[in-house]
Amino acid sequence: MSIETIIQQAAIKAVKTLYQADVNSKQVQVQNTRKEVSGDITIVVFPFLRLSKKSPELTAEDLGNYLKEKIDIVDSFNVIKGFLNLDINKNYWFNILKDVFSNPDFGTKVANDDSDVVMIEYSSPNTNKPLHLGHIRNNLLGYSISEIVKANGKKVVKTNIVNDRGIHICKSMYAWQQWGNGETPESSGLKGDHLVGKYYVEFDKHYKAEIAELIENGLEKESAENQAPSIIATRELLLKWEAKDEDTIQLWKTMNGWVYAGFDVTYKTLGVDFDKIYYESDTYLIGRDEVLRGLAEKTFYQKEDSSVWVDLSGEGLDQKILLRSDGTSVYITQDIGTAKMRFNDYPISKMVYVVGNEQNYHFQVLAKLLDKLGYSWGKDLYHFSYGMVELPSGKMKSREGTVVDADDLVEGMVKVARDMSIELGKLDSLSGKELEDTFRMIALGALKYFILKVDPRKNMMFNPEESIDFNGNTGPFIQYTYARIQSILRKAADRNVSILADLNMDSMEPKEKELLKRLSLFPAAVQEAGDNYSPAVVASYCYDLVKEFNQFYHDHTILGETDANIMNFRLVLASAVGSVIKKAMSLLGIEMPQRM
């Protein structure tokens, strides 16, 4: 139980005893005492004045005397207007340190057989192009949220829905048929997803040229877009696919196979994984059957061209197409089928979709459709809507080939990490594979931290050079501090200095206590991050902890301390800080180098 919770519960009892009144936890405001004021924990007493019928100062005195008498961890208190500042007994902080030092699960909870199952969907790529910067934010958020929810004692199923069918992949297939000349990843030297993406861009180039020619010959723009030979051929290819034409299916399997192999390399590089992968080609028929059932039950309606729609205008939305006039499915159809399959596969208590905010309307519609189809869990689906990410050069468009490829970005980050590390002389003691591994660890740590430290619901600008900075609120700064702590611990081991959990101290320095306070906040940070699905909370906690440690280390020596008890205490403290940094950063999917 956190110190805030202990004090909050005690304050509720105090109000009941002193003023014969009931208050709840929301009415008891407990916060860390400001650094310029003496004390560790502050209670805001203004909400109790109507109960005490006394001044703020006298009310705070009442509460302070009660808490000092009834709670052995409260040593003393002071009152500043309506704020009661409590000094917490040093033994409480020592016990926190012992817990952090000896308990590998400090700050986190472990799932048991009765824990809720939370399924988290992320990535959701199309098989017509490689992963790009937008996918990076999605994958990093999805993986980190999964780890954070898991750290809050839930069973987590990390899932991916691969959009492996539809007009988009048919565009790449058609372009490869027309202009590919049998090119393969092996013959081209390209990753499979890059090769297929190349033909997606190739299709768009020819398609635009055809549209321009038709417009020049007198057609309106919309007619030209529908009558261009490339799009007609692509639609025919989609119909052949849905009719299970053997040659079309074989080409589709071959090109998707290239893409999957490429995706796997990128996922491994990013350090993300999945427990279950669903494919639209498996789920869209289930969704289509559900739509046809809804049509038969008159939940949906059919237009004269045979397309199937739902009217949600009475619920503040709009009319939405569910099946095209030729019977082919749309995205929402697939999502209906995927949702049904997932709830059949797992006892899901919460389904979280990590998808960009441009799909807000889509998920509002999905929840309504599932509810109309009679699924009780439909209204409980949660769309974790995050903002877009851009580079200083501007917005990305995959059809035009202006997307920042994920693989290229990571390699560029490694180069920046290598150049900056060499320039600063940070890794002069490393060589060979350890050096290259550390460059990559720094690069990915910089990328992940820079993206995850931002409130996920906000749009953001990603600046590679700014992210790889060994000072300030960056991944490398936190990694460097962790490596510094490991260096201290190695030197202690080299001197045969034992680090003992038994702490024999009469007092502690203010900087030491501040560091212990920061450590004690880790469980609350993990819980807040889980409650809000926000890796940014963990990132902020890491940065504050690292800043606090560096201030402590600047003011106090560790291995140079002559008092053996003080040295041991500071080594335990440093070890505990290192442990929490590593654990917190792992929730962001970030590895920590032992040397920098």
Count of other CB atoms within 10 angstroms of residue 239: 15
CATH class of 406-586: mainly alpha
CA-CA distance, 136 to 148, in Å (whole number)?
Answer: 18
Q: Classify residue 547 by burial, with Cβ atoms within 10 Å: 0-12, 13-18, 19+.
A: middle
CA distance 497 to 526: 33
The distance of Cα 233 from the centroid of its chain, to the nearest Å, equals: 40
Residue pointed to by tokens 């860390």: 32
Write down the domain spans for the chain: 3-92, 115-162+275-299+329-404, 164-273, 406-586
211 vs 173, 204, 208, 230, CA distance in Å?
20, 10, 5, 10
Q: Which residues contact 53 (CB under 8 A, 6 or more apart)?
A: none
Find the radius of gyration of the CA atoms of the chain. Answer: 29
**Of all helices (H) and strands (E), which one includes residue 50?**
helix 49-52
Q: What CATH class has 115-162+275-299+329-404?
A: alpha beta
CB atoms within 10 A of CB 90: 18
**Torsional sign, CA 326, 327, 331, 332:** positive
Task: Check residue 403 and give its pLDDT.
Answer: 63
DSSP letter for each residue of 547-560: HHHHHHHHH--STT
Q: Is 41 left (phi over 0), alpha (psi -120 to 50) or beta?
A: beta
Q: What is the pLDDT of residue 380?
A: 84
φ, ψ of residue 77 in degrees (nearest 5):
-155, 165
pLDDT for position 402: 52
User: DSSP states of 380-441 as a string?
Assistant: G-EEEEE--EEBTTB---TTTT---BHHHHHHHHHHHHHHHHHHHTTTTT--HHHHHHHHHH
Question: E strand or H helix at 278, and its extent?
Answer: strand 276-279
What value, to the nearest 5°, has the Cα angle with vertex 58 and ends 57 and 60?
65
Matching fold, domains 3-92 and 406-586: no
Query: What's the pLDDT score for residue 398?
Result: 40
Contact predicate 86/74, CB 8 Å: yes
β-pair type (276-279, 301-302): unpaired
pTM of the model: 0.91
Q: Find the distance separating the first CA and the last CA of the chain, reported in whole Å.
A: 36
Token duo for residue 132: 């790009």
Residue partners of 364: CB distance under 8 A and separation at least 6:
317, 383
Instruction: Output DSSP code: residue 477.
Output: H
Q: How far apart are the C-alpha atoms of 213 and 346, rounded to whole Å? A: 52
In 10 A of CB 55, how many CB atoms? 13
- The count of other CB atoms within 10 Å of the CB of residue 409 is 19
CB under 8 Å to 256, separation ≥6 — which residues? 127, 164, 169
- Report strand pairing: 350-356 vs 382-386: parallel
CATH of 3-92, one of 1.10.3210.10, 3.90.550.10, 1.20.1250.40, 3.30.1360.70: 3.30.1360.70
Walking along the chain (596 residues) 10 residues at a time, the average pLDDT comes out as 89 96 93 90 95 96 96 94 94 93 94 95 94 93 98 98 93 97 96 96 96 95 95 94 95 97 96 96 93 96 95 93 88 93 95 95 94 90 91 51 78 88 79 88 95 93 85 94 96 93 84 93 96 97 97 96 94 97 98 92
User: Which parts of 152-301 fold into alpha helices (H)?
Assistant: 167-179, 185-188, 192-216, 221-227, 229-242, 246-270, 280-296
Distance of CA 186 to the CA centre of its chain: 35
